[in-house]
Amino acid sequence: MKISIGSDHAGFELKQELIGYLKQKGVTIDDKGTYSAERADYADYGHAVAISVVNKECDFGILMCGSGNGINMSANKHKGIRAALCWNAEISALARQHNDANILTLPARYISKEEAFKCVDVFLTEKFEGGRHQQRIEKIDC
């Protein structure tokens, strides 16, 4: 599995933790930045990860910024992206099962490292249920 990952400065520390966690599980990581805790604009990294997902350069994306909102909004501007802001494992599971989310977004300032790991594990293992949910996600892109 290959994951594209990105964050702004507020998500940098959590991003580094997730990279280490995922590498231990044998996941290939494409780190789109930022590469330090110095101030950075979330949109730059949201777009970079979204483009890699749209172009099928990776299986999924993971994003984080302080609240998760800004970077999530940036990623969702791309046709074909369904980025889901998740703060616990149940929301993360539903994002995959019902919304066929292809990017997990985490609120770095409002989630523990342990809960973030749970969200990632669930997001990467749950499957889209299809059925009644398929017609709904077909209505998302404008």
Task: Give the active site residues.
Answer: 65, 98
Q: If you count them, how many residues does the chain have?
A: 142
Taking residue 137's Cβ as centre, other Cβ atoms within 10 Å add up to 15
- Which stretches of 41-130 are assigned E, i.e. beta strand? 60-65, 83-85, 103-107
Which residues lie closer than 8 Å to 97 by C-beta, 6 or more apart? Answer: 126, 127, 128, 129, 133
Residue with tokens 């989630």: 111
Q: Provide the CB-side half-sphere exposure for 31 (13 A, CA).
A: 16
Three-class DSSP category at 129: coil
